[in-house]
């Protein structure tokens, strides 16, 4: 009986320590994939290969979104700021557009600039439609164009879409997902520190 | 400059004290893009008022929208009018009701101001100068 009294707390401590330090399970393995994307400087980015060795915080957005996607970008910016203070230099940040028709590199650049985001550390990525479609499918992201709205002489459309921030480990494996616009940043940072 | 903007954002725009619009702000966005305007409308009167429309010269089109979640997906839909019950507050906020500001005629940069006119059924027109800023700033 005495042994049992010692064993139960010991087992609890071991379980707690191991669950705090172990990485979350792999959700999607992109480590063998190579999506050719373009960043806001019009440079080619091989995703996820070019980010190998870094944990990547990924938001899925479109720049014409007035409400939800800017919240996702803002959440990532705040996480970046906080981790910067912690000296976490093996983490990088990316927004991937699911609207490649409109989100050309210059549009992504402007989206970042107007928010004061340095694109050397926070990457804004787009690509050709086929590549983006494949990447979205592999990450289980849905983006369905909604009704077209006439704005002046122009037309505009908005998406019904997955609201997502994903965490990718340094090997290119997605290990955690959050609701992008309302992600709990403390939880995100805790998970990043478990993964990186 | 920032002190001025903070003062502006704290100002209450009211109609005879019965309906106040306060804490207005706009997300930054570039020319040709879309953004959102958020605020609180406080109905101090004893009867329900209705927000009928919002206008602004900063964009080619302005509409009231609400963000919704369905089957794990997020979307937006237009709201034609929004009632504000007596002695209650209607909040336009990220992820909820927002004024969709479409196809901006110019850049809305952090630190600038954008003017919006809200048209209420009883309170009439209330004009707000909203600071362009990031949430929480």
- pLDDT on residue B14: 56
pLDDT in tens, A15-47: 444 445 588 999 999 999 999 999 999 999 999
Interface A–B counts its CB contacts (< 8 A) at 90
The Cα B21–Cα B11 span in angstroms is 9
- CATH numbers and ranges of domains, chain B: 2-131 (2.60.40.1890)
Q: Do A66 and B103 touch (CB under 8 A)?
A: no
Residue burial A34-66, b: 16+ Cβ < 10 Å; e: rest: ebebbbbeeeebebbebbeebbbbbbbbbbbbb
| Dihedral sign of CA atoms A14, A18, A19, A21 in order | positive
The Cα B60–Cα B127 span in angstroms is 18
Maximum CA extent, chain B: 44
Four-point Cα dihedral B30, B24, B113, B129, nearest 10: 130
Backbone φ, ψ for residue B6 (5° rounding): -60, -45
Q: Is residue A10 pLDDT above 60, yes or no? A: no
Mean pLDDT of A172-186: 97
The Cα B37–Cα B24 span in angstroms is 7
pTM of this prediction?
0.88
The Cα A119–Cα A109 span in angstroms is 8
**Across the interface, which of B28, B73, B94 has its CB nearest the CB of A67?**
B94
Nearest CA distance, B24 vs chain A (angstrom): 15
> Using the 8-state DSSP alphabet, how is residue B79 labeled?
-
- CATH numbers and ranges of domains, chain A: 26-195 (3.40.30.10)
The Cα A73–Cα A183 span in angstroms is 11
Q: Do A67 and B36 touch (CB under 8 A)?
A: yes
């Amino acid at each position: 009986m005495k042994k049992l009294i010692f064993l139960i707390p010991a087992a609890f401590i071991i379980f707690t320590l191991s669950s705090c330090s172990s990485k979350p399970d792999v959700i999607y393995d992109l480590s063998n994939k190579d999506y050719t994307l373009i960043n806001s400087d019009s440079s080619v980015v091989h995703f996820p290969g070019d980010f190998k060795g870094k944990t990547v915080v990924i938001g899925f957005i479109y720049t014409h979104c007035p409400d939800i996607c800017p919240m996702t970008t803002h959440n990532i910016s705040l996480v970046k700021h906080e981790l910067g203070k912690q000296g976490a230099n093996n983490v990088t940040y990316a927004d991937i557009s699911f609207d490649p028709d409109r989100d050309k590199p210059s549009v992504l650049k402007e989206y970042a600039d107007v928010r004061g985001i340095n694109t050397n550390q926070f990457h804004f990525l787009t690509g050709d439609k086929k590549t983006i479609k494949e990447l979205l499918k592999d990450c289980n992201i849905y983006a369905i164009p909604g009704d077209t709205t006439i704005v002046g002489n122009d037309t505009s459309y908005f998406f019904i879409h997955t609201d997502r921030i994903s965490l990718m480990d340094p090997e290119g494996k997605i290990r955690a997902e959050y609701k992008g616009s309302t992600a709990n940043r403390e939880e995100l940072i805790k998970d990043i520190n478990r993964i990186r | 400059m920032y002190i001025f903007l903070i003062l502006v954002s704290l100002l209450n725009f009211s109609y005879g004290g019965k309906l106040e619009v306060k804490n207005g702000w706009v997300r930054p966005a570039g020319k040709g893009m879309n953004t959102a305007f958020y605020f609180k409308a406080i109905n101090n009167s004893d009867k329900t008022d209705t927000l009928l429309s919002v206008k602004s010269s900063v964009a080619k089109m302005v509409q009231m929208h609400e963000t919704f979640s369905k089957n794990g997906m997020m979307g937006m839909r237009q709201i034609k009018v929004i009632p504000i019950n007596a002695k209650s507050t209607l909040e336009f906020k990220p992820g909820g009701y927002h004024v969709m500001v479409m196809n901006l005629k110019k850049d809305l940069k952090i630190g600038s101001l954008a003017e919006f006119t809200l048209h209420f059924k009883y309170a009439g027109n209330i004009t707000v100068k909203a600071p362009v800023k990031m949430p929480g700033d």
